[in-house]
Structure 1
Amino acid sequence: MSDRAVPGDDRADDRRAREAVAATGPTVRAMAPGRVNLIGDHTDHTGGLVLPMAIDLATTVTGVRTGNRVVLRSADEPEPAVVPLDVGDPTRVSPPWARYVAGVVAELRPTEGFEGTVSTTVPIGAGLSSSAALEVAVALVLGADGADVLALAQLGRRAEQRASGVPCGIMDQLASVAGRDGHALLIDCHALTVAPVALPDDVEVVVVDSGEARALSGSAYAERVAQCALAEAVIGPLRLAAPGAEVAIDDTVVRARARHVLTENARVRLAAEALAARDPAMVGAAMAQSHASLRDDFAVSTAVLDTLVGRLGAAPGVYGARLTGAGFGGCAVALCTPGALDRWGPERSWRVRPSPGARVEGPARG
């Protein structure tokens, strides 16, 4: 759902469709949260370290298993997603948001269709993993095994790649599936291990929307992945290399990309240790360094994001701030004392808390 559309006006038809779905049989309902990444961006696609958390903004899919196609309607989209079970190329499906549904169908290949509705509180196109939340929720209502956390996350990642053509890592889907109440998640994206790290009670996480919508399919994300691959051809796996190893790379741009990944992995380790030690000032310092690296070495920030992060970092009670997600627009995240950003403006902001991962809330009687 990274291509946001203007909500439709045909609410009466949507209501009748929901009533028809409710009348056909047992309702299946699944919820999948979005995520915010505290630190560790553009490291997951090289098998590095990330420190995200699932958040209390989520996508819910509700309906019944029926027929030979998946039909989903959303108040946030003027056209429904209508996907046959034998869908071929998800990138050819229209409207654009339906491609993520099609990616899941193409990967899961369910034997029974689904008809229902999608609702979400995850801001679309803001870098909070609205597409991953949709993919995971759709997979669950179509019968994917929610108990196999890793397999569900991997399915969602493959669906995203098929739908968008973006060679994304696994962070977004794994954070949505494996979220834990009150905890961030230290994820090793090579070993695919998840270690919960408690978030202290005396800090808040606030997400602030820059106002620049983000769509990775139209960004230089794939180019950055390719540049990391070029770096690995010289110095080996970036996940294993120590900061400083990048000096062996002659190409100045590729060297800078590698420098970000190597130093970012080190910052993730530091931030996780500082969070566990209840040292928010150290976490905040790592976040500020991370943003500078994403701006200068990885070149995925924007002037608007840089200004926003600077303002946040200078606000009383803020330990640190950075862009969150892949960049190219979207949101910034700030770690702060409780209430420090309650009157923040003019940008939209959300105080988010680390929340449980995806779950099936049905079947239940509709």
Structure 2
Amino acid sequence: MSTSIPISNQRKIIHVDMDAFYASVEQLDHPEWKGKPLAVGGESDRGVVTAASYEARKYGVRSAMNSRRARELCPHLIFAKPRFDRYKEISKIIRSIFLQYTLLVEPLSLDEAYLDVSDYPSATIVAEEIREEIYKQTRLTASAGISINKFLAKILSDWNKPNGQKTLSPKQIIPFLESLDVKKIPGIGNKTKLKMYHLGIYTGKDLKGQSITFLTKNFGKAGKHYFNLVRGIQNSPVKPHRVAKSIGIERTFSSNLSSEFFLEEKLEELSENLEKRLKKNKVAGKTLTLKIKYSDFLLQTRSKTLKFYVSTKELILEEAKNLLYDKKLLNSVRLIGISLSNLNSKKSKQMAIKETTKTDQLTLPF
């Protein structure tokens, strides 16, 4: 049995991920915080950690954690308010470095992106040069993963963090995936992981041993996806212009709200801001989703697909209120959000991306 990916299926993809980006920027701009546990986010008991430095992570502090819990884990934790304008400023510098090497750059967020560098003899050397240039221009470190597709590159960028990189050549892919814990596979969250463990699927080898029929039966459409991934198969190209699947906005309240009347006021504010975001992106949506997080952190979503596209504050608010009153609240509310999906983004808005085929893929060494 072959233990490598066919040469005809090879591309050279790099996933670059900045190391604890927001927290590292704060430590860069505040030298007195360097080497100390730091969290970016709200300091109040109801605040949420947006990012944590590596020093804070040693205490168990993680992003999306309640600030009070973070402080319990690390009493001397430093809190810094988010400065997104500053993060965007540095992100532009990083992106300009990427574009010096290739125009095939797919940003995922301010601090990470995929790059297709198939035209270069060595993707490993390119990744090293990019990381060196990022540090030279920003004094911040980045990690990178290098392989034949986005899925593998993303796994690998986390392998030698911080300030490291890992390359997986075609011959190494199958053995690597077979030894991988399934929880390391992107897209397999805690719930799916536990289900796989219950079915006796702990490693990539275990997953690879299952038929596509078995996986589809137990995991639905995702079953085929897992079937391909564990064989190193993923043909999604690097897309320089990514079209958003949804646009939304949410707010966490300083104190819990227990009445729909008060939530209506918040929905009006959110609807106005969502309208601005839709106008900025020149899109409208058909499916409206209301997100409610209760005081006990139970999350509930309510959605409705309309017969027409909406983008104005008035229509968004009207449908959001309908969803709000559709069911009784289960508890007092700490967060509420609204989003629009099923957007009317046209393919003409996207940059034309040629799907890589077997005949035009390169076979140069990594």
Q: Do the structures match in fold with TM over 0.5?
A: no
Q: Normalising by structure 2, what TM-score?
A: 0.28
- Larger RCO (CA within 8 A; separation ≥ 6): 1
Q: Which has the larger radius of gyration?
A: 2
TM-score, normalization by structure 1? 0.28
